[in-house]
């Protein structure tokens, strides 16, 4: 291998960038192993923490001896005071509530709130959004790229214009519209606003521009309808671009905190993973960082795995459609 | 054993009318601060069901804090998906009453046989009285309190609880000594929105309510005095502009010597704090005496 200063500097910068990007992930995974005390005091206990046994306060509160129990026990030890008996019983409870921080964090991740349900909701919402987006975007992109009709350029400039509208700007009217038709706290509220993805239309249109017209003409000559051309000819050629779009779409909606937070106000069963995480927050009255980080780790894992699997296709897709 | 017999009898009496009714009444309910109240409600529910078997409580997702609670209710009011009962911060009731979202409890109270003897003291009910109607019932209350890290305080020569600062001037004085001893962040004072009752406390302690006839009374000598006091505390202690939870972490990590906040955080501080001697103490006001018995009535 030739040694080149330029290459070395380039790689050094890239490695530095990668470290900056990975640092929060490192902290997240590391915190998911640690106890509240280690996290809040910033104790230097390494990546896995000290794993010193902690007392699960919730478990203690749940098992707190009831008055009746104290009275019954008091009858057995008449020489002791009520307070003594209470403390003895409480110590017994505490003994059964000790845990290693890593178990406490991951166990509360799944028991404190129905995380599996949230993950399922995440899958339902992201998959529905993506499928509908494809059903809308493919024909639209095909028409904008390959068909000649009056106002095509204007329609395309509208698509470009819509790319410029930030969702937060239209969140309020969207919310009111959904509220008026009684759709808040439903799956529909989570899905409908995202079904038309102008980004998807734009991306697919750019890709279809590169598909030779001959392919389409051949299809037409064989008597295919326009729609069967879209689904049987264009769709298979567009798989790499679709995969790239899938990653954008799925990541954006799997991780979306803003919109679910607005439209799902109290229906726990509809929580998506990111707003589910909110349940572990209680402001100054005791946010549980350990379980929150455990939940975050659980939530991002499927995405990272999916990206690793589709990495090559993903990069292909981006270069195919975006760089032309 | 006598008491046990008595309580069973009571339960039997209460279950009787319930079993006659068939359809269950579903009551939707939401509360803030899950870490604080989850176990409380878990323990209350079975007892409530025992007493009222014809009612089913449907818990909605917890609000993060009081602000989130009010925001959520306002949004749900637009969508017409309000819960039946919600737990709100004391100082956020007015907006819900003004918008007609909160409903008067008077018709229900009128149906209660022994309401006044059930533990609802009139002074407590006044906190949720608007006009002549009661809109809410008190559930939990916390008070402003001083949290002290005695190990850090020792650096300023404060060795025992008796030496702890008694006035805000003394707090500022201790701050100076701590900073001289190398403590970068000596104190956090909960000024943030949920903690604006510290402002209320500063004004009430001078005999001036925060609101009077729908007007914010900051434009009074007492209001000015309160703001001046806050300014001197913030400047004198070089207090960073943190959120309350970050402020609490500043204290639990063992950095700050003093943390002025609600009694409700004692458990979470106890749970998360570094290894130091932790004490709480009351806060005294600027002036010696304060509460004249009128302020509550005025609110």
Give the separation between CA A145 and CA A152, rounded to whole angstroms. 9
pLDDT at residue B2 tops 70: no
Give the separation between CA A230 and CA A155, rounded to whole angstroms. 19
**Which pLDDT score is estimated for B22?**
56
Interchain CB distance below 8 Å, B79 and A178: yes
Share of chain A above pLDDT 90, in %: 31
Task: For an interface test with B, give the residue of A172, A257, A282 to mutate (most B CBs within 10 A).
Answer: A282
pLDDT at residue A25 tops 50: yes
Q: In the numeric block, which tokens belong to residue A250?
A: 């799925």
Q: In the numeric block, which tokens belong to residue A120?
A: 């399922």
> B60: which chain A residues are within 8 Å (Cβ-Cβ)?
265-268
Interchain CB distance below 8 Å, B72 and A266: yes
Which residues 80-99 in chain B show a CB within 8 A of chain A?
A: 80-81, 83
Distance in Å, alpha carbon of B66 to nearest chain A alpha carbon: 10
- Averaged pLDDT, B253-276: 84
- Which alpha helices (H) appear in chain B, and where do they start and end? 2-20, 34-51, 66-79, 93-98, 106-111, 122-126, 150-153, 168-180, 197-204, 221-236, 244-252, 266-272, 295-298
Interchain CB distance below 8 Å, A266 and B274: no
> B34: which chain A residues are within 8 Å (Cβ-Cβ)?
279-280, 282
- Which alpha helices (H) appear in chain A, and where do they start and end? 5-31, 36-41, 57-63, 67-76, 82-95, 101-111, 115-146, 152-163, 167-180, 187-191, 198-209, 213-221, 226-228, 235-237, 239-254, 258-263, 273-277, 289-322
> B80: which chain A residues are within 8 Å (Cβ-Cβ)?
179, 182
Give the separation between CA B244 and CA B246, rounded to whole angstroms. 5
Question: In 3D, which of B101, B85, B260 has the Cα closest to residue B172?
Answer: B260
pLDDT at residue B290 tops 90: no
**Which pLDDT score is estimated for B66?**
86
Q: Could you give the count of Cα atoms lying within 13 Å of A320 in the half-sphere of its Cβ?
A: 23
Task: For an interface test with A, give the residue of B75, B190, B195, B255 to mutate (most A CBs within 10 A).
Answer: B75
Residue ranges covered by each domain of chain B: 2-102, 144-298
Q: Does A78 touch chain B (CB under 8 A)?
A: no
Distance in Å, alpha carbon of B6 to nearest chain A alpha carbon: 13
**Least reliable range by pLDDT among A72-86, A166-180, A224-238, A239-253:** A72-86
Interchain CB distance below 8 Å, B61 and A42: no
Interchain CB distance below 8 Å, B265 and A284: yes
Sign of the Cα torsion B120, B195, B36, B80 reads positive
* B226 touches B203 (CB < 8 A): yes
**Which pLDDT score is estimated for A321?**
54
Give the separation between CA B257 and CA A50, rounded to whole angstroms. 26
The reply to whether domains B2-102 and B144-298 share a CATH topology is yes
* A56 touches A105 (CB < 8 A): no
Tens-digit pLDDT profile for residues B131-182: 888 898 888 877 888 999 999 999 988 888 888 888 888 999 999 999 999 8
**Which pLDDT score is estimated for B228?**
92
Interchain CB distance below 8 Å, B264 and A285: yes
Distance in Å, alpha carbon of B153 to nearest chain A alpha carbon: 18
Domains of chain A: 57-96 (no CATH), 115-322 (1.10.3720.10)
**Which pLDDT score is estimated for B179?**
93
CATH topology of domain B2-102: D-Maltodextrin-Binding Protein; domain 2 (3.40.190)
* CATH number for the domain running over B144-298: 3.40.190.10
Tens-digit pLDDT profile for residues B59-82: 888 888 888 889 999 999 988 889
**Which pLDDT score is estimated for B11?**
32
pLDDT at residue A252 tops 80: yes
In terms of phi and psi (left: phi > 0; alpha: psi -120 to 50; beta: otherwise), the region of B156 is alpha
B109 pLDDT band, cuts 50/70/90, is: confident
Q: Does B247 touch chain A (CB under 8 A)?
A: yes
Q: How many CB pairs under 8 A join A and B?
A: 114
Q: Nearest-CA residue of chain B relative to A183?
A: B79
> A271: which chain B residues are within 8 Å (Cβ-Cβ)?
61
Distance in Å, alpha carbon of A54 to nearest chain B alpha carbon: 10
**Least reliable range by pLDDT among A61-70, A147-156, A259-268, B13-22:** B13-22
**Which pLDDT score is estimated for A318?**
64
**Which pLDDT score is estimated for A283?**
60
pLDDT at residue A323 tops 50: no
Share of chain B above pLDDT 90, in %: 22
Residue with tokens 């006001």: B285
pLDDT at residue A133 tops 80: yes
> A282: which chain B residues are within 8 Å (Cβ-Cβ)?
32-36, 62, 64-65
Distance in Å, alpha carbon of A320 to nearest chain B alpha carbon: 44
Point out the residue among A42, A268, A283 whose CB comes nearest to the CB of B61: A268
B236 pLDDT band, cuts 50/70/90, is: very high
**Which pLDDT score is estimated for B230?**
92
Question: In 3D, which of B79, B122, B123, B128 has the Cα closest to residue B102?
Answer: B128
Q: In the numeric block, which tokens belong to residue A202?
A: 């734009």
Q: Nearest-CA residue of chain A relative to B142?
A: A285
Share of chain B above pLDDT 70, in %: 87
* ipTM of model: 0.73
Give the separation between CA B38 and CA A108, rounded to whole angstroms. 13
* B7 touches B42 (CB < 8 A): no
Tens-digit pLDDT profile for residues B112-129: 888 877 778 888 888 888
* B268 touches B248 (CB < 8 A): yes
- Averaged pLDDT, A210-239: 88
């Amino acid at each position: 291998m030739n040694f080149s200063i330029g290459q070395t500097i380039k790689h050094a910068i890239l490695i530095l960038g990668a470290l900056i990007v990975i640092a929060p992930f490192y902290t997240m995974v590391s915190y998911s192993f640690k106890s509240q005390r280690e996290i809040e005091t910033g104790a230097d206990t390494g990546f896995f923490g000290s794993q010193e046994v902690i007392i699960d306060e919730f478990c203690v509160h749940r098992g707190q001896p009831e008055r009746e129990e104290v009275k019954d026990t008091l009858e057995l030890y008449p020489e002791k005071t009520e307070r003594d008996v209470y403390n003895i019983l409480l110590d017994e409870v505490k003994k059964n509530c000790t845990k290693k921080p890593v178990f406490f964090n991951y166990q509360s991740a799944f028991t404190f709130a129905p995380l599996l349900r949230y993950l399922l909701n995440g899958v339902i919402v992201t998959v529905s959004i993506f499928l509908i987006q494809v059903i809308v975007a493919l024909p639209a992109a095909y028409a904008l790229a390959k068909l000649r009709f009056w106002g095509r350029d204007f329609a395309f400039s509208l698509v470009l214009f819509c790319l410029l509208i930030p969702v937060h700007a239209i969140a309020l009217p969207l919310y009111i519209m959904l509220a008026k038709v009684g759709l808040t706290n439903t799956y529909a509220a989570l899905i409908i606003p995202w079904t038309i993805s102008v980004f998807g239309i734009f991306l697919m249109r750019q890709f279809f521009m590169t598909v030779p017209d001959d392919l389409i003409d051949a299809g037409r000559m064989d008597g295919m309808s326009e729609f069967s051309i879209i689904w049987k000819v264009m769709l298979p050629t567009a798989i790499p671009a679709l995969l790239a779009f899938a990653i954008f779409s799925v990541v954006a909606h799997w991780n979306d905190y803003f919109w679910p937070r607005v439209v799902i106000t109290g229906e726990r069963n509809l929580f998506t993973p990111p707003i589910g995480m909110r349940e572990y927050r209680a402001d100054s009255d005791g946010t549980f960082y350990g379980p929150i980080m455990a939940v975050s780790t659980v939530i991002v894992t499927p995405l990272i795995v999916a990206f690793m699997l589709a990495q090559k296709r993903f990069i292909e897709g981006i270069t195919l459609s975006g760089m032309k | 054993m006598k008491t046990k017999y008595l309580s069973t009898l009571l339960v039997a009496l209460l279950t009787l009318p319930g079993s006659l009714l068939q359809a269950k009444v579903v009551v939707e309910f939401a509360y803030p601060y899950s870490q604080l109240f989850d176990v409380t409600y878990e323990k209350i529910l079975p007892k409530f069901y025992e007493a009222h078997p014809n009612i089913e409580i449907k818990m909605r997702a917890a609000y993060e804090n009081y602000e989130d609670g009010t925001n959520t209710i306002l949004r749900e009011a637009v969508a017409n998906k309000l819960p039946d009962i919600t737990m709100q911060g004391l100082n956020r009731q007015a907006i819900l009453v003004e918008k007609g979202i909160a409903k008067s409890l008077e018709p229900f109270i009128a149906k209660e046989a022994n309401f006044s003897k059930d533990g609802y003291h009139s002074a407590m009910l006044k906190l949720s009285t608007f006009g002549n109607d009661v809109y809410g019932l008190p559930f939990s209350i916390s008070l402003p309190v001083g949290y002290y890290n005695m190990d850090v305080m020792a650096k300023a020569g404060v060795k025992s609880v008796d030496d702890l600062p008694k006035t805000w001037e003394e707090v500022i004085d201790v701050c100076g000594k701590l900073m001289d001893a190398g403590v970068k962040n000596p104190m956090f004072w909960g000024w943030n929105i949920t903690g604006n009752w510290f402002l209320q406390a500063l004004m009430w302690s001078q005999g001036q309510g925060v609101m009077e006839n729908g007007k914010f009374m900051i434009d009074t000598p007492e209001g000015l005095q309160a703001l001046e006091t806050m300014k001197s505390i913030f400047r004198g202690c070089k207090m960073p502009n943190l959120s309350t939870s970050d402020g609490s972490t500043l204290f639990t990590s063992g950095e700050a010597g003093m943390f002025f906040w609600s009694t409700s955080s004692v458990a979470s501080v106890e749970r998360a704090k570094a290894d130091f001697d932790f004490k709480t103490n009351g806060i005294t006001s600027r002036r010696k005496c304060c509460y004249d018995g009128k302020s509550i009535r005025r609110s």
